[in-house]
Amino acid sequence: MKQLFLFAFFCIFALRAFSQDTLKATPVDIVLRDSLAITTAKDTARRSDSVVFVVKPFTDTSYYKLYNHPFLPSVQNPLYLVISERQRPSKDGLFYIISGLVFLLGFLKLIFPRYFQNMFRLFFQPTFRQKQTREQLLQNDLPALLYNLFFLLSGGVYVALLAQYFQVTTLQFYQLFLYATVLLAVIYVGKYIFLTFSGWVFNAREAAATYIFIVYLINKIIGIVLVPFILVIAFSQSRLIAPAITVSLLLMLLLLSYRYLLSYGVVRRDIKVSWVHFSFYILAFEIAPLLLIYKVLDIYLNGTY
Domain count across the chain:
1
For residue 160, give every residue at least 6 positions away whose Cβ sits within 8 Å of its Cβ, in sequence order, or none: 173, 176, 177, 179, 180
C-alpha 301/C-alpha 305 separation (Å) is 11
C-alpha 250/C-alpha 184 separation (Å) is 20
CB 274 within 8 A of CB 280: no
Model pTM score: 0.68
Q: Please report the pLDDT score of residue 61 as a whole number.
A: 59
Q: Does residue 9 lie in a domain region? A: no
Q: Does residue 27 lie in a domain region? A: no
Q: Does residue 48 lie in a domain region? A: no
Q: Does residue 43 lie in a domain region? A: no
Distinct helix (H) and strand (E) counts, the chain = 11, 0
Q: Please report the pLDDT score of residue 16 as a whole number.
A: 53
Q: Does residue 220 lie in a domain region? A: yes
C-alpha 153/C-alpha 98 separation (Å) is 10
Residue 149 domain boundaries: 94-302
Rounded (5°) CA angle 107-109-113: 135
Q: Does residue 133 lie in a domain region? A: yes
Q: What is the mean pLDDT of each run of 10 residues along the chain (305 residues)?
A: 58 53 43 45 47 52 63 70 76 90 94 89 65 72 92 94 87 89 90 89 84 90 95 90 94 89 77 76 76 72 59
Residue 127 phi/psi, 5° resolution? -130, 165
Q: Please report the pLDDT score of residue 44 as a whole number.
A: 47
Q: Does residue 276 lie in a domain region? A: yes
Rounded (5°) CA angle 231-235-237: 120
C-alpha 46/C-alpha 52 separation (Å) is 10
> Is 15 exposed, middle or buried (CB count within 10 Å of its CB: 0-12, 13-18, 19+)?
exposed
For the packed helices 173-201 and 92-111, what is the interaxial angle rounded to 10 degrees?
A: 40
Q: Please report the pLDDT score of residue 17 as a whole number.
A: 47
Q: Please report the pLDDT score of residue 31 as a whole number.
A: 40
Q: Does residue 69 lie in a domain region? A: no
